[in-house]
Amino acid sequence: MLDVVEYLVGGSLVAAGYLAGSWAARKTAAKAKAASPQPICPCTHSIGHHKDQKGACTSQVKRREFRNGPGYIEVWVPCGCLHYSGPELLSTFMVRELKDG
């Protein structure tokens, strides 16, 4: 009888450790994902979807159009964003010149 109790206690400790580790990993992954800045415009499109990295958005978005009668349909329309207003990318880099010897 004592062996069964020891196995149950050991198994529950292993399960508790597994669940605690899983929870901690999810929490740190979410924190790391939120901490890294992404070049995303308020229109939710990246800088690559904008002309010349400052111009109008060239992507399309899905919108609902209501028709006469019940229901609606979803159609793709051009994004209404006129200019990229997300975080700025680094434009120049300062690098020291390499010397031989």
| Claim to verify: residue 32 and residue 52 sit in the same structural domain | no
HEC profile of 55-92:
CCECCEEEEEEECCCCCEEEEEEECCCCCCCCCCCCCC
Quick one: 30 and 53 in the same domain? no
Burial per residue of 30-67, b for 16 or more beta-carbon CB atoms within 10 angstroms, e otherwise: eeeeeeeeeeebebebebebbeeeeebbebeeeeeeee
Q: 23 and 64: one domain?
A: no
What is the full per-residue pLDDT of the chain (101 aa) written as tens digits?
668 888 888 889 999 988 888 887 877 776 766 655 666 777 778 777 878 767 788 888 888 888 777 788 888 888 888 887 777 766 656 677 877 75
- Shared domain for 73 and 100, answered yes or no, is yes
Pair (31, 41) in one structural domain: no
Kindly state whether residues 97 and 51 are assigned to the same domain: yes
Domain span at residue 22 reads: 1-36
- DSSP helix, strand, coil percent of the chain (3-state; round to 5): 40, 20, 45
Query: Could you tell me the sign of the dihedral formed by the alpha carbons of 34, 37, 38, 43, in that order?
Result: positive
Indicate if 32 and 56 belong to the same structural domain.
no
pLDDT reported for residue 26: 79
Total number of domains in the chain: 2
Same domain flag for 44 and 91: yes
- For residues 32 and 42, membership in a common domain is answered with no
Are 72 and 51 in the same domain? Answer: yes
Q: Taking the model in full, what pTM does it have?
A: 0.43
User: Do you know the residue count of the chain?
Assistant: 101
30 and 57 belong to one structural domain: no
